[in-house]
Amino acid sequence: MERIAFFDTKPYDREYFDKNNKNYRIHYYEDKLTEETASLAEGCSAVCAFVNDSIGSRTIDELVRRGVRLLLMRCAGYNNIDLKYASGKLTILRVPAYSPYAVAEHAMALLLLLNRKIHKSYIRTRDHNFSINGLTGFDLHGRTAGVVGTGKIGRAFIDICLGFGMKVLAYDPYPDNRYAESRGFDYVSKEELFEKSDIISLHCPLTKETRYIIDEESLARMKKTAYIINTSRGPLIDSDALLRALREKRIGAAGLDVYEEETDFFYEDRSGDIIDDETLSLLISLPNVIITSHQAFLTEEALSAIASVTLSNADAYFAGKENLENEVKA
């Protein structure tokens, strides 16, 4: 029976992988995968990693030296892997899609919370304060949503927005005009999207082209009332530029499920610590910002799909199948 070293384990990971696992001995570790912790994979043929593990050249060398041949990513993203260095050393398989609805619905939840001040109302009523002063929002119906990226998650978010009676503008370097026509929305340039949208929601992968797609220049194009939602990858947004725009009241609000320097914070209980990331601390302190801890994927359906596909990826690899469906290559 092949052995898999499972890194950055949380209780929900163990629950859903144990439910689905029939073929492997899984060794669960709470530590993130780094060059220092790679030694925990000694004697394992595969490792299973997540979005905030650090899989650079030194980590790859340590894994290979210990006999690891397979890297299973239990997520869609792989920007934390040195793919070029891994080429010829490790086979890398990922979960390209688990539940687009989970992420899209969380993006809308962030928007609704920000707009209708539900988080503030909840805190007030817990203290028996039933005043509604300062809780005014706006109708989403008739507003313009700008969706950056029209893959499965972006499309799910578009459908939600259309259900609210919103107008949708979209940007994607590979537009699907037939899909847009069938749904009744328009593809436009990034610049036009930033200028005309009331809500801007990011649903694109992190690449060289999309890194800091939200920066000083794009922020300057936006309406002063614009809401920015990011449930994709933290480095899509220049956090310092976003903070400045928010503090100078050049945009309306931000709902973030990801942050560009999240690795040391997200998924961990840091409630007893002083956070030494000034930008993150200041963003959290703003009344028009909501930050959640990279939880948009966290539904029963998504967790079940992640476990099932990850283990199926392992099955295909160890069965010696060629042309592995979910392989990632440089």
Predicted local confidence at residue 263, as pLDDT: 83
Predicted local confidence at residue 213, as pLDDT: 98
* pLDDT (mean) for 12-37: 97
Token digits of residue 221: 């194009």
Predicted local confidence at residue 191, as pLDDT: 97
Is residue 24 scored above 90 in pLDDT? yes
The whole-model pTM stands at 0.90
Token digits of residue 1: 């029976």
CB-based contact 254:292 (threshold 8 Å): no
Predicted local confidence at residue 264, as pLDDT: 84
Catalytic, 233? Answer yes
Given the structure tokens 């950055």, which residue do they identify? 8
pLDDT in tens, 39-97: 999 999 999 999 889 999 999 999 999 999 999 999 988 989 999 999 999 999 999 98
Enumerate domains of the chain plus CATH numbers: 3-98+300-318 (3.40.50.720), 100-291 (3.40.50.720)
pLDDT in tens, 229-267: 999 999 999 999 999 999 999 999 999 999 999 988 898
DSSP three-state, residue 282:
helix
Catalytic residue among 14, 294, 322, 327: 294
DSSP calls for 168-204: EEEE-SS--HHHHHHHT-EE--HHHHHHH-SEEEE--
Predicted local confidence at residue 79, as pLDDT: 87
Please report which residue ranges of the chain form alpha helices under DSSP H: 11-20, 57-65, 83-86, 100-116, 118-126, 152-163, 177-183, 190-196, 216-221, 239-247, 278-285, 300-318
Task: Report the chain's C-alpha Rg in angstroms.
Answer: 21
Per-residue burial over 147-179, b if 16 or more Cβ lie within 10 Å, else e, is bbbbbbbbbbbbebbeeeebbbbbbbeeeeeee
Catalytic residue among 62, 155, 233, 260: 233
Catalytic, 119? Answer no
Predicted local confidence at residue 268, as pLDDT: 87
Confidence class of residue 295 from pLDDT cuts 50, 70 and 90? very high
Token digits of residue 205: 């992968």
Is residue 214 scored above 90 in pLDDT? yes
Catalytic, 203? Answer no
